[in-house]
Amino acid sequence: MARIITITSGKGGVGKTSISLNLSLALAEKGFKVCLFDADLGLANVNILTGIYPEKDMASVISGQFSLKEIMIKDFGGIDIIPGSSGIEQIADLTQTQTGTLISAFLDLDDYDFFIFDTSAGVSAQVLSFCMASHEIILVATCEPTSLTDAYSMLKVLSKYNYKNPVKVVINQVKSGKAAQKAYNRIKQTAGRFLSIPVEPLGIMAADKNVQAAVISQTPFFQLFPDTVATKCIQAITNRLLEKSKMVSDIPLELFWDKALRFLDTHYSGKKTSKKEQQRKEASTQVVVHSHDIDPELQRQLTVFDSKITAMANDITIIKQMLKQNKSPQRKILPKKNPKIQKVSRIKNQVQDQFSNRIPDKALDQKPDQKPGPAPKVSHKSVTLDFEAWYKKRKQS
């Protein structure tokens, strides 16, 4: 019997594994026996944070090569760690024999007060199976909009499968209490409006530069910096979890795994097949048609049809080549002139012609040496110097 807690997140990079590891250490410091299951598929983030890289993982247990105790990392800061790694991926496709082997492996474990699952990010089949089989879920998010959106997506999927227990929310990498409150309210209000799943706050993790220093040194910040802000936040979250211990019942590990595997069998069995299996099935269903199996008359018609298509293709190629050779140069398309502007210009030219016609030919034929004669008298009635008045008068007439 153990109090099983699944720690998950909708988005990667929100500090879920760091909270899982340091929360486990904080519970162990208070005298509880804790086992941390690294269920982060392929990434083995717990190994990175602790600097421990085991050679065996859950795949060795599922295959029956080793027992769970043989692959377990014992007494790391007072906690035991089970490396999941690639073995987690196989959980969704276990045979009946492998399922029995896995459940039997957990029956041989010692009793723990807390069994904490550090899942992968997202809503994969394995993550959902751990969540649905657990009585407690801690959902880790940050104040970033993308993280809040992905956290809501996780709640939406859990609600779809009728998860009824309250989901505890931790807001990580918080720079101010106001920002943390705003982020939590956004999750709670959206979930309360559209979903049937209850949500409650568990605590916050303040932004702390010592957390990054602990990651680089591959030592949990709970051990490396016992007085830092992040450690105090983890201690506050631990105390809150212990305050709610009476509201949550312990469950046997074998019952947890039975529920997780039944969830996978019910909702995901047969939905995913490997690429090789799919190719094998497609190859087995293919019908091979030989030439001697075709009716002779049908074969003759197919041959004629094929030759006609080939001839048409050749004709199209020749036509394209002829079009390229006889392609005439493109004419420049002049912009259209405004008819009003053309009309005004035409009238202006008429006025200038009328005015030039009034000048005597003698003035044009006069030689430079000759003195100019008196200027010809021009009738004001015949020449209008005011162009606009003339145009208006012409328009009225």
pTM above threshold 0.85:
no
Question: Quick one: pLDDT at residue 245?
Answer: 78
Question: Quick one: pLDDT at residue 323?
Answer: 73
Question: Quick one: pLDDT at residue 71?
Answer: 87
Question: Quick one: pLDDT at residue 356?
Answer: 53
- Average of per-residue pLDDT values in the chain: 78
Question: Quick one: pLDDT at residue 198?
Answer: 94
- List C-alpha distances in Å: 153 to 18, 126, 348: 22, 16, 76
Asked if the model's pLDDT at residue 123 lies above 50, the reply is yes
Question: Quick one: pLDDT at residue 313?
Answer: 73
Poorest-pLDDT segment among 86-90, 159-163, 188-192: 86-90
**132-141: average pLDDT:** 93
Higher pLDDT, 314 or 3: 3
pLDDT, one tens digit per residue, over 142-168 is 999 999 999 999 999 999 999 999 999
- List C-alpha distances in Å: 15 to 105, 119, 227, 230, 274: 30, 12, 19, 12, 32
Higher pLDDT, 70 or 359: 70
Dihedral class, residue 13 (left if φ above 0, else alpha if ψ from -120 to 50, else beta)? left
**291-306: average pLDDT:** 62
pLDDT, one tens digit per residue, over 216-267 is 999 999 999 999 999 999 999 999 999 987 778 888 888 888 888 888 888 7
Question: Quick one: pLDDT at residue 291?
Answer: 45
Question: Quick one: pLDDT at residue 179?
Answer: 94
CA distance 229 to 210: 9
Question: Quick one: pLDDT at residue 377?
Answer: 52
Radius of gyration in angstroms for the set of CA atoms belonging to the chain, rounded to a whole number: 43
Percent of residues, the chain, with pLDDT higher than 90: 37
Could you tell me the pLDDT band of residue 378, with boundaries at 50, 70 and 90?
very low
Domains in the chain, CATH or no CATH each: 3-270 (3.40.50.300)
Dihedral class, residue 348 (left if φ above 0, else alpha if ψ from -120 to 50, else beta)? alpha
Could you tell me the pLDDT band of residue 292, with boundaries at 50, 70 and 90?
very low
Asked if the model's pLDDT at residue 32 lies above 90, the reply is yes
CA distance 139 to 119: 11
DSSP 371: P
Question: Quick one: pLDDT at residue 113?
Answer: 93
Query: What are the tokens at 381?
Result: 């009635």
Instruction: Kindly report the backbone phi and psi dihedral angles of residue 166, in degrees, each rounded to the nearest multiple of 5, phi listed first.
Output: -65, 135
**45-69: average pLDDT:** 80
Asked if the model's pLDDT at residue 130 lies above 70, the reply is yes
Most confident of 34-43, 130-139, 291-300, 311-320: 130-139
DSSP 40: -
Percent of residues, the chain, with pLDDT higher than 70: 68
Which DSSP string corresponds to 55-84?
S--HHHHHTTSS-HHHH-EEEETTEEEEE-
